[in-house]
Amino acid sequence: MSDTHAESIAFVRESSLPPAAPPEKVGGPFKWVKDNLFPTWANAILTIVALYFLYLLLSGSLPWLLNGVWNASSLSECREILDGATGACFSVISERWHQLLFGFKYPSDQYWRPTLALVLLFLAVAPVLFIDLPRKLLIFTGIYPFLAFWLIWGGPIWGPVFALLGVIVGYMVYARLVHNSFAKALAGGIVAAAIVWYVGGIIGDALRPARPLLEAVPSRDLGGFMLNMMLGITCVSLSLPIGIALALGRQSHLPIVKGICVVFIEFVRGVPLITLLFVANVMLAYFFPPGSGVDLFIRVVIMITMFSSAYIAEVIRGGLAALPKGQYEAADSLGLDYPQAMRLIILPQALKISIPGIVNIAVGLFKDTTLVSVISLFDIIGMIRGPILASTDWNGVYWELFLFASVLFFIVCYGISQYSQWLERRLATDHR
């Protein structure tokens, strides 16, 4: 363009002027403050009141937080160091952090085992959580439960190995039969796995080494935040498939299946979790002969899983009900049988709708795991309320300990909720 005017016009600007900053009055921080904090008289008053409360809150808590003592050996020593000044006594956390995280009986030279299990957990759940990762990683996810069990509980390696073997054989049988009929394949897979487990149990007993590679830790020695994490993760991951099965069962046309599912869901939802935990701890002890009782941890896992699967079933039922009938009819018109239709068309959509509800239940359940402190399991709250507050050194330290626990819970729960929001955006295929 400039060529046309090259002779007739002396100067032609070839690039635009750099944008100038807007005048002070209509832009920049001044405008932001005016628009957002003091747009009207009423809002201005509210802003000032809010600032005043913020000041009260911070002036009360900041000296306490910043002036904290981290290296005393008892509460009285803390008070000596502070000498009347305001300040937290965080030394209880620096002295007892291992008990808060792992419980007071987990052997301290073995802390690397649950820590490693936690690190591997992120590897194992990554392909489940992030659908863009290569699918091959799912193999590790499959191995992980057995590996984590072995890492945390220790003992002979044969138990987890044969358990894994049973699952693999069961899956192979299932994969071979699934072309004929889903139900037959499922039954065949379960039977095959059971046979392997039974035989494996016998062989495992015979191979029991005198001194296992990893020292065995009984489950009553587990505790602290580790116990909350274990209960939360195990129960959520177990209750998801059970919840799906219950939700589908409740919609079934078979009266017995439907009846069982309805009764189970309504019964469990009608009973508080704490009652189920008491049943697990107190009542079941009567039904087993003394000394041969099933592990308390497993009893608690069963009860919490029952509880959360009933709730998840109802959430998924909501997702199923939200699907237009046309989706079911479309599956039928393609000639898909029931398992195929569910697996390929109905559930992917229904589960997507249910994500917020499922996450809601998962977060609630994770926090509910602190209820086990009532039945004398030493989860993080049990550790705080029991051994730590009862020790003569730390009796009287409340805020610091519960603050620590709430920070841990906040990190996990906030992480879960951020993930679910990301997942919803990622899965959003409709254009609203």
The binding site for other proteins (CB under 8 A) comprises 75-76, 79, 95-96, 99, 104-105, 278, 281-282, 285-287, 289-291, 293, 373-376, 378, 382, 385-392, 395-396, 398
Cβ burial, residue 166 (10 Å; 0-12/13-18/19+): buried
Q: Tell me the closest approach of the beta carbon of residue 112 to other proteins, in angstroms.
A: 17
Q: Residue 379's beta-bridge partner residues?
A: 224
Q: Tell me the closest approach of the beta carbon of residue 303 to other proteins, in angstroms.
A: 15
Distance between CA atoms of residues 379 and 101, nearest Å: 9
- State which residue, 293 or 357, has the beta carbon closest to other proteins: 293
Q: Tell me the closest approach of the beta carbon of residue 331 to other proteins, in angstroms.
A: 48
Q: Which 8-state DSSP code applies to residue 291?
A: T
Q: Tell me the closest approach of the beta carbon of residue 388 to other proteins, in angstroms.
A: 8
- State which residue, 280 or 358, has the beta carbon closest to other proteins: 280
Q: Are 37 and 43 in contact (CB under 8 A)?
A: yes
Q: Are 187 and 145 in contact (CB under 8 A)?
A: no
- State which residue, 175 or 274, has the beta carbon closest to other proteins: 274
Distance between CA atoms of residues 78 and 85, nearest Å: 11
- State which residue, 174 or 297, has the beta carbon closest to other proteins: 297
Q: Tell me the closest approach of the beta carbon of residue 60 to other proteins, in angstroms.
A: 14
- State which residue, 239 or 281, has the beta carbon closest to other proteins: 281
Distance between CA atoms of residues 108 and 91, nearest Å: 19
Q: Tell me the closest approach of the beta carbon of residue 204 to other proteins, in angstroms.
A: 24
- State which residue, 18 or 289, has the beta carbon closest to other proteins: 289
Q: Tell me the closest approach of the beta carbon of residue 373 to other proteins, in angstroms.
A: 8
Distance between CA atoms of residues 248 and 237, nearest Å: 18
For every residue of 157-179, DSSP letters joined together read THHHHHHHHHHHHHHHHHHHHTT
Inter-axis angle of helices 399-427 and 347-368, nearest 10: 180
Distance between CA atoms of residues 116 and 385, nearest Å: 28
- State which residue, 11 or 286, has the beta carbon closest to other proteins: 286
- State which residue, 355 or 389, has the beta carbon closest to other proteins: 389
- Non-local (6+) Cβ contacts of 302 within 8 A are 280
Q: Are 225 and 106 in contact (CB under 8 A)?
A: no
Measure Cα distances from 24 to 28, 29, 31, 33, 136 in Å: 7, 9, 8, 12, 57
Q: Tell me the closest approach of the beta carbon of residue 402 to other proteins, in angstroms.
A: 10
Q: Which residue has the tokens 């009986």?
A: 105
- State which residue, 70 or 171, has the beta carbon closest to other proteins: 70
> What dihedral angle (degrees, nearest 10) is formed by the CA atoms of 320, 321, 324, 327?
30
Q: Tell me the closest approach of the beta carbon of residue 46 to other proteins, in angstroms.
A: 30
